[in-house]
Amino acid sequence: MFDFLALAYPWTLVLHIVSVISWMAGIFYLPRLFVYHAEQVTDPKTDEMFQTMERRLLRGIMNPAMIATWVFGLALVLTPGLVYWGDVWPWTKGAAVIAMTWFHHWLGKRRKDFVRGENSRTGRTYRMMNELPTLLMVLIVASVVVKF
């Protein structure tokens, strides 16, 4: 099985990168939708429209992209000769990916707050929280490229 992963490496890497790009696009966009939803939506029709956009983004793009990112990322980790666990970078990348996954689930819970009409966070909170994935992304990319 692991020999197959070595042969499939270029395609696994391609699929991992495409999945990450899709996931990150959603991770950056959903909090921005929450900002507008929290600050500007007052009528039920617009609220329903925002809820539809948020649900479709989360379920149709972000969830599948996150799962694909994990599947292809784990396939890369299992590819022989790719990761030396004595280095620091695989651990920093792994911790940052787990933190990104936590953020993804946090966003899912915030979407449910909007659905129930119980959002208690301000647009400013969502703006500030939107900085977290940027920091995590920088840590992930630096870990893999610099291999510190």
Q: Enter the pTM of the model.
A: 0.93
pLDDT tens digits along 10-30: 999 999 999 999 999 999 999
Residue 61's alpha-carbon distances to 20, 41, 80, 107, 112, in angstroms, are 11, 23, 30, 14, 17
pLDDT tens digits along 36-79: 999 999 899 999 999 999 999 999 999 999 999 999 999 999 99
